[in-house]
Structure 1
Amino acid sequence: MKRYFKLPIVAIGIAAFLISCGSQNPYLSKGKELIKSDKRRKEERAAQQFKLAIQHEQDNAEAHYLLGYYDSELFYEDGTPEKASASIEERGKHMFQAYQNDKRKYLEILVFETLRNREPDVQNAALDAIERIYQQADRKKLLNSLKKAIKSKDNRDRHDAQWVLASLGRDHPEEIVPILIELLDHKRRETRLNVIKALGAIGDESAIPVLVEVVNSGAAKWQRDREDPEIRGLAVEALGKIGGTAVEQLVEIVENKGSSMRVDAIQALEQLGDERAVKPLLEVLSEQGNREVVVNF
């Protein structure tokens, strides 16, 4: 007489879990082991394993991310398809694909971890992926993450967010500049400092009025209304980078003999080399009793 036994549902579930654990992408596992090892050319060999992992499982987010992170044109000879596939753009595509397959996880990783890498190629690949997210995916969540980063207590987060926002702002100033201007009210001095740097790097004239306001805050009646001197100096520098109609504002600062930002404005005008600055700079040179100012114009 045959006897049949019914396995409990819990037991079946555990079995399925064990099978899934055992079926992890073998190429991905081998690549990760290589990275942890002390073997020669481990990154190059690991990159090959990550490529095989993607062939084995095309939607594997981790394999795409790690290939984007570790692959390098230095691994391949000039003119080969492999070298072309390891360009910054292609590595950025893999990081973007990782995000596409696991949005929440890899948005955080890209903004708060990958950008911290001090290898320029890794940073630029991450920037490429972030720009793709901005253009093709969830722009709102990306911008929220970048705002969170630039308001962070961590200097690396603030610096990296400033760099990314400046890069995005050069192509999309109509959206990024207002976000940065709003952040100028943030309580953290270092956040405001990075915002000013980003506005200068973007170079859009829509930021001129608020930058002038920052510079002129030094003359405010109450101490609480005066911006930090370093930030005001950076605002003058940002005006110099923007140029255009900002030249007129810089000339006004130079002509104001009581402005503590006068020397900064002179240096900004010197860098611009705009003919509108010639007359006020010559007048500065002819002044008596001032500390020495050298103008190379």
Structure 2
Amino acid sequence: MLEEIGKQRCIHNTERIVKYIDDSRSSVREAAIQALRVCRDEIAEDALIRLITTSNNSFDIMSANFVLATIGTERAVPYLTPLLDHSRGDVRHSALVALSNLGDKSHLPIFVNGLEDRSGNVKEYALVAIERHGDEVAIEPVIKRLQILLKRKRQIQTDEVIIALRFLYRYQHSSQAIPKLFHWIIQTKKELLFDEEWQWLEDHFTFY
């Protein structure tokens, strides 16, 4: 029943759903958390905030964070930031997704710090958040991250390189380091780029 509720466009009787996020059965809790995605009111947001601040179940916290990313407001931000120190990478990642959606430019230091996280998913989404909210302050950290990514051949393609390139391209006239970086990549790193990444460079730069 909760799964069917979650398929609706909007539900106003939030109280009847909220009580199930504390159910002893994990499948019921998950269905209730997801159902709150269509309950865009303070009751739903408050219930999710309570969950992420009191639960010891990392999967529940992660699910709640992703739902907050959709229905939450800036009220949730102070409760999300402590989760960036959580021991589980998936919780840190989900918290960063929510902060990127609910936060603003003032949270740029948080997103920059995410580039140093030990989780690859967190580092990748930190770049997404920086592209959305960043300014010149993030140029040097993004350059550093891109240099690390291009130190060796990667086995799995992610969006990180293109996201970093797009962000730096935006500020190419603000920092002399950016054109130098692009030329360094073009001249020495072609063999480390995936086809899509090299195509992006071809579309945006004259190589010769």
Q: CA deviation at 1:276?
A: 2.0
- Say if 1:254 and 1:235 are closer, same or farther in 2 by CA, change over 3 A: closer
Match of 1:164 among 41, 63, 67: 67
Instruction: Determine which structure has more spread, i.e. the larger CA radius of gyration.
Output: 1
Match of 1:291 among 179, 185, 189: 189
Match of 1:221 in 2: none
Q: Spell out structure 1 runs of 4+ moving beyond 6 A.
A: 262-265
Give aligned pairs, total.
182
Matched, 1:236 2:119: no
Q: CA deviation at 1:71?
A: 7.1
Q: Deviations over 1:151-175 (max 9, x none)?
A: 5243xx3442122121244xx22x2
Matched, 1:200 2:100: yes
Alignment gaps of 5+ in structure 2 = 152-158
Residue identity matched to 1:283 = K
Match of 2:140 in 1: 252
TM norm structure 1: 0.47
Q: Quote the Cα distance in structure 2 between the aligned partners of 1:115 and 1:281.
A: 48
Q: CA deviation at 1:210?
A: 1.7
Matched, 1:179 2:79: yes
Q: Quote the Cα distance in structure 1 between the aligned partners of 2:163 and 2:97.
A: 14
Q: CA deviation at 1:273?
A: 8.5
Match of 2:154 in 1: none
Greater relative contact order (Cα < 8 A, sep 6+)? 2
- Quick check: 1:115–1:160 contact (8 Å CA) kept in 2? no
Matched, 1:146 2:52: yes
Matched, 1:275 2:170: yes
Q: Quote the Cα distance in structure 2 between the aligned partners of 1:231 and 1:166.
A: 15
Q: Quote the Cα distance in structure 2 between the aligned partners of 1:257 and 1:113.
A: 38
Match of 1:213 among 105, 113, 119: 113
- Say if 1:145 and 1:249 are closer, same or farther in 2 by CA, change over 3 A: same
The residue correspondences of 1:108-119 to structure 2 (distance < 5 A) are: 108=22, 113=27, 116-117=30-31
TM norm structure 2: 0.63
Match of 2:12 among 75, 93, 100: 93
Residue identity matched to 1:98 = R
Alignment gaps of 5+ in structure 1 = 1-65, 74-86, 218-225
Q: Quote the Cα distance in structure 2 between the aligned partners of 1:196 and 1:71.
A: 27
